[in-house]
Each structure stands twice: as structure tokens, then as C-alpha cells.
A = this chain, B = another copy of it.
Amino acid sequence: MTTAHTLGTLGEQAVLARIFPRLPHAASAIIGPGDDAAVLATPDGRTVVTTDMMVHGPDFRLAWSSPYDLGWKAAATNLADVAAMGAAPTALVVALAVPVDTPVDALERFADGLRDACDALAPSCGVVGGDLSVTDTMTIAVTAFGDLAGAAPVLRSGARPGDVVAVAGDLALAAAGIRLLFAEAVDAHGMPDADAAARLAERHPEELRAQLRPSPPITLGVVAARAGATAMLDVSDGLALDARRIARASGVALDLRLADVGSPEALEGGEAHALLATFPPEGALPEGFRPIGLVVEGESVLVDGEPYARLGGWDPYADWNGARG
């Protein structure tokens, strides 16, 4: 009989000694984990910085996401924010709070997910520091850094009438995944259920992978910047909602073609972390981007020329309902 080590039985130094070797190495690390702070090479003289928090309940359920999935997704979503500025990800710092009885094995799987996501999506990026805490509500906070390599950052505010609206990455699968999970990966009381999720994953592997372990087109962020993208963001709350953010910041309207978007689900799908960008009308779109609309005068989102009145995505406060499990 073996006893699994937990955070509470092993103590801080021993836990960190098991996790550090699994973390992905950052090519930019001058001083990595282990001191009061890391030191990161930022040869451009500017650094792109973004942070995002994932909370058990509103952002993930342990019945549906493995620790490996969570490490992967925490990395991928932050890498997408760096890419959406037109930068190449260089490093992550990761703060993680878990219940004190969490097996150390689970933390190792989480680190493996961070490593594999960096290896797959942004190979020179790695983890340069972090923090590990105890909590009743598992919470993950990742801060990601990026290198603009001399280029101007691509903001949300640069779209101009006449620009082409284009997207790279899938819009609908992640949304289908969360819809399927809420509909079918629950028990008789509507609570998230791991066995039902495992059965669902056999029938809908692509949808669940897109939701639980997304692979945004990270390298296309720099590609879009080099191609002259005038505005860009990653679609994290829903295409229409995020398109409206570009519209407002730029003082324009984005007119989307439903036929090119693909489906009403794609129009409101969140968490896909596709890159939504606008490009000048002259010149071809860079490989990986497909056109889905046009920038026109106005200050809103249109679909096939008609104002789109729905929110078009997920509001993390107004839409949160703890009773859903």
C-alpha cells in the first residue's frame, strides 16, 4: 500500500524540488525560478505583459479538466494574449493555489501540461518563476511575457473603414465543447461528472479538446503583425462580443458575414482563442487567416449588414451562476 504525498505532508521545499525539473525552460531566462524574483532578457527594450486568472467553478471544473489539461490551458490562454499583441511569447510566471490535500502528483501533471503547451505552441517560452499556495478553491494565475522584436504592438484601436476582418483558428469547437459538457457531462442533479465527461470525450474528442486543452495559433500573432494587421485580439469571450471591443476601441463598425463565420455558435463562441484581426484592403491575407467581414463606418458589430443586438459572448460576472456546480 502506498500513500500519495500531498502538499500538506511534503512541505514547500520538497514540493518545489519535484516540480522545478518538469517546468519548461525559457530561452529568455537569465535567472530562473528559486530566488526572490526571476531576471528575464528583454533585448527589445520593451516587454509585453499580460495576466489571467482561472478559478475552479466559473473557469473550470476538476470533474472535466485533468491537472494536465489545466496546465496546458493556463499556458495557452496567456500565450494567446501575447500573440494578440503581435509578439512572440518569451516566458511565464505561474501562481497556483490548491487545496492542502492535493496530491503532489497532480502538481507534476499540471507542470507537464504547462511544459507541453509551451513546447507545442511557443517553443522558446518557458516558466521563469511562480508561487504555490493553499486554498479551498483551486485558482491559477499566469502572467505571460512577449517580445515585439522591434515592431509596433498591434492594439485593438487601429482598425479603419475598408480594412478586411479576418480570423485565424477555430471559432466553434470550444463553444460546442462547453455546451456538450454542461448538457451531457453531468449527473442526475446537473453537477459535473467525471465518468460522464470521459464517455463524452470518446464521442466528441475534438470539441472537448478545443475547450479543455486549446491550441490557439500562437505563431500567427507575429505573422499578422508583419503583414500589417491594424487591430487584433484573441477571441476569449465570443466572436461578436470581442469584435465589438475592436469596434469600440477603433471607432468603427465590424460587419461580419455569417456564411464565412460559419454558424451562430461560431458567432458567439468563447474560449476558442482564435486571433481576430483587421488588415488593410490592399495585399493578401497572411497564410492561416481567412476573411469573415469588413470594417465599415459606425461603432458596433453588424452581421450581414444588420446591427447585432445580442451581447455575443460571455460576461464573467453577470453570467456566473455558482449553482451550476
A interface residues with partner B (beta carbon < 8 Å): 7-12, 15, 30-31, 34-55, 57-59, 81-82, 84-85, 87, 91, 93-97, 100, 128-137, 139, 141, 143-146, 148, 153, 155-157, 232-234, 249, 315-318, 320, 322
Contacts and interface: CB of A to CB of B under 8 A. Distances in A.
B48 A131 contact: no
Nearest to A146: B37
Contact of A42 (B36, B45, B93, B155): B45
A130 B45 CA distance: 22
A130 B49 CA distance: 10
A143 B322 CA distance: 28
B153 A31 contact: yes
Report how many copies the assembly holds: 2
Contacts of A35: 85, 153, 155-157, 233, 249
Contact of A91 (B40, B49, B157): B49
Given A55-B139, A87-B37, A129 B49 contact: yes
Given A37-B82, A37-B85, A139-B97, A134 B55 contact: yes
A38 B48 contact: yes
Contacts of A82: 36-37
B11 A317 contact: yes
Contacts of A55: 97, 133-135, 139
A175 B153 CA distance: 45
What 7 pairs across the A-B complex have the smallest Cβ distances? A141-B141, A37-B50, A137-B137, A143-B143, A42-B42, A53-B95, A36-B84
B51 A139 contact: no
A40 B50 contact: no
Contacts of A95: 51-53, 141, 143
A36 B135 contact: no
Contacts of A144: 37
A155 B38 CA distance: 10
Given A134-B316, A139-B135, A40 B51 contact: no
